[in-house]
Each structure stands twice: as C-alpha cells, then as structure tokens.
C-alpha cells in the first residue's frame, strides 16, 4: 500500500459539475499458487453528464458465464433511465424498470461468479495516495476468508446513474453497505482488490482519468441495432441462477 503522504499535484477533476472524459482501468487476475498476475485486461469507461459507456467489456464475468450471446459492450443512459447491452451483431438488450429489478435478483443469485456479496459495514481508513489519486479505503470482510478492499476518490464527480440505484444495492439486490452512497456522491473507484485469506485474487486499478468533451456518437446506441426487451431473458437467467 502506498504512503498516505501527498504530493501537491495529486490528480483531481479540473472542470465544474459532473466529470466528462474517460476513465482507464486495468483488471488483473492472480494465481492463488504463485501470487503472480495470470491475466490483465484494460477497460475504458467513457463518461458524460448524462451517459456512461463501456465499449469493451467481458460481460461473461459479470453474468458468471450466463451472459446473453454476443454481448461485449454496455451503455448506461441516465437521461433515458435505462441501460443497453450489445455486441457486434444487430441485437441489443434494453434494461429498464422491472428488468433492472430482475437483474439485481439474478446478480444476487449468481453472487458475482460465486463470491459472497452480502457484507457488513466496512472498516474505513485513509486517505492514501495511489498513483497520485487521493483515495479512502473501505474494507469489507466476506465469508470463506474473503476480503474486499475498495478505494474511492472524492476528487471526481461522476454521474454513475443506474449503477448507484436501488435495483442493484437495494431490496433483492446485492448488500454492500455504503457502496451505493459513494457512487451517488459521484466518487470514483481508484482500486478494488479481492483477497481470499492472504492470497490476492483480483485487482482493478484506475490508471488514468482524462477530461475532455466526449463525442455524442460514442455514447449512443450504434446504428441499426434492434432493441429487445430483456424481461424474458432475465426471467430465464434468474430462474437458472436460483436453480428453479
């Protein structure tokens, strides 16, 4: 863990209001036996005041290998109160209203690829300097020796939209105390690490936060996509996840 001493030039949002630009993350998975990274992926998140796009996403990880076929990108439209999952083919799945509640239930049943997700109030410390980002740590202790370290920076104000809504963290969804509050405040995850006992399993690190005007075309549903309601798909997913 880096020192909690700060340089004067730690990174922070320059513009007023909501952040606009890109957040670049690197996701690393580690060998329990050797402790070395066995897989690294880059994920870019495009952010505007009313939309958020993840143009390249390993959706199979999110859905515990039960993802809709061909899905590789996500678009969160805060101004339309929905989000869209799509891939290279013409099909796209729209989540809104009851669809999002069903997805929250499915996430809870799937337990995000088998990891326990109902956790108690976190232990807090900080601030720390992580790659010149100032961040505070919330440490969650899970079941079976799992530990989740989540570092958030309040020096940015991102509109996370439905990612902070009750469908995901409320009744029927995941129970991770205070995480939704951090997202609603617009805080940015700087580092998330998952440990089982002394072994690190996963880390997600913010590598860069760049402010610029994002082209509207980059946060639109791609042309010629056919939007499908996700209700039927989610009923099936939730039933499979709960063994019904």
More confident residue, 156 or 241: 156
pLDDT of residue 87: 85
Question: What number of other Cβ atoms are within 10 A of residue 73's Cβ?
Answer: 17
More confident residue, 208 or 105: 208
pLDDT of residue 204: 93
* Element of type H or E holding 65: none
Alpha-carbon distance of 16 to 26, in angstroms, equals 27
pLDDT of residue 3: 47
Across the strands, what pairs with 165? Answer: none
- Cβ–Cβ < 8 Å for 191, 149: yes
pLDDT tens per residue across span 143-162:
778 899 999 999 999 999 98
Examine the pLDDT at 102 and tell me if it is beyond 70.
yes
pLDDT of residue 76: 93
Alpha-carbon distance of 215 to 86, in angstroms, equals 19
* Element of type H or E holding 232: helix 231-241
Alpha-carbon distance of 7 to 15, in angstroms, equals 21
Q: Place 186 in a pLDDT band, splitting at 50, 70 and 90.
A: very high
Alpha-carbon distance of 127 to 3, in angstroms, equals 9
More confident residue, 241 or 210: 210
Pairing mode, if any, of strands 199-211 and 21-30?
Answer: antiparallel
| Residue of 152, 208, 162 lying closest to 51 (CA atoms) | 162
All structural domains of the chain, each given as residue ranges with its CATH number in brackets, are 21-241 (2.50.20.10)
Q: Place 12 in a pLDDT band, splitting at 50, 70 and 90.
A: very high
pLDDT of residue 5: 47
pLDDT tens per residue across span 107-125:
666 555 555 566 788 999 9
Q: The pTM is what?
A: 0.86
pLDDT tens per residue across span 23-58:
999 999 999 888 888 989 999 999 999 999 999 876
């Amino acid at each position: 863990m880096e020192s909690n001493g700060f340089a004067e030039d730690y990174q922070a949002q320059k513009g007023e209001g909501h952040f606009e630009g890109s957040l670049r993350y690197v996701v690393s998975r580690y060998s329990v036996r050797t402790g070395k990274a066995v897989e690294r992926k880059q994920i870019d998140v495009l952010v505007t005041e009313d939309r958020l796009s993840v143009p390249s996403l390993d959706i199979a990880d999110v859905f515990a290998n039960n993802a809709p076929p061909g899905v590789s990108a996500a678009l969160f439209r805060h101004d339309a109160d929905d989000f869209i999952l799509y891939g290279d083919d013409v099909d796209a799945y729209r989540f809104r209203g009851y669809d999002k509640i069903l997805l929250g239930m499915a996430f809870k049943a799937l337990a995000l690829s088998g990891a326990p997700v109902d956790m108690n109030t976190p232990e807090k410390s900080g601030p720390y300097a992580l790659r010149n980002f100032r961040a505070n740590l919330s440490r969650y202790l899970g079941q079976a020796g799992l530990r989740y370290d989540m570092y958030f920076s309040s020096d940015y104000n991102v509109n996370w939209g439905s990612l902070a809504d009750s469908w995901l963290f409320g009744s029927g969804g995941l129970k991770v105390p205070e995480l939704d509050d951090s997202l609603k405040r617009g805080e940015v995850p700087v580092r998330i690490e998952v440990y089982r006992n002394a072994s690190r399993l996963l880390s997600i690190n913010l590598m860069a936060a760049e402010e610029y005007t994002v082209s509207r075309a980059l946060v639109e549903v791609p042309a010629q996509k056919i939007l499908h309601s996700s209700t039927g798909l989610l009923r099936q997913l939730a039933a499979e996840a709960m063994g019904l």
